[in-house]
Amino acid sequence: MSKVASILLAGGESKRYGGNKLLSPHHNGLPLIQYALQQLHGLNLAGTYVVTGRWHSDVVDVGDIITASAAQDSNSTKVCYNPLWREGIASSIRCGLQALMLEKSLMLEKSLKQATDNEYTHLLVHLADLASVTTATLQALLNEIPSNPNHIIYSQWHKRDLEEKVKIKATVPAIFPKAAFESLLALSGDKGAKKVIEDWKDKGQAIGVNHPESAFDIDAPSDWNAYRSNEA
């Protein structure tokens, strides 16, 4: 039986936004990061790890956002502060995954049976600034695990280039089986999970699920206008 944990990446600087975009209001009134957590908490996951960085204090302290979101979830939500956030997104992925592995190690010391029962088989990687991704988006990825337990299951969307050729973009949210954890831990700099997805695609061990909503992230304040236009 699969046991899926998730990491929500929220450690970036938001340089193009000019401030903390994680607390910018989503259309439903929630801060952006709380909206993302709400979508994760709509799933039956084993646990969620929020990886913070530049805006750690704001995210944890202002409005007790993570605690408020976790109250809606029967599973645990924990914070992993990434002191190396300046290195890029890879360090946040490593931080979240290492937190998972540390938890398993501590359980092993406490009880071998408990550690085995709580061993994660898959990791769902999600970004806190994807304003259009919903619980249904994420559930569609989870639905592929039973038939593809040893594959990466990723979101994909289509983009036209300058020559009007359609290209398929493979991206997160994505689910990684345990066999891919080592590759995630080996990431560095600004090379995120997409590199691992592409490597596994080349080996024929990755499955794409059409999710155009995964194409839209909030990088600048003006992106909210585009988001509201798309949602109208």
pLDDT score for 88: 95
3.90.420.10, 3.40.640.10, 3.90.550.10, 3.20.20.70: CATH of 4-231: 3.90.550.10
pLDDT score for 74: 46
The pTM of this model reads 0.90
**Sequence ranges of the domains in the chain:** 4-231
Is the peptide bond between 173 and the residue preceding it cis, with omega within 30 degrees of 0? yes
Q: What is the pLDDT of residues 196-219, one digit of tens each?
A: 999 999 999 999 999 999 999 999
Intra-chain end-to-end CA distance of the chain, in Å: 40
pLDDT score for 211: 94
Give me the mean pLDDT over the 116-141 stretch: 91
| Banded pLDDT at 90 (limits 50, 70, 90) | very high
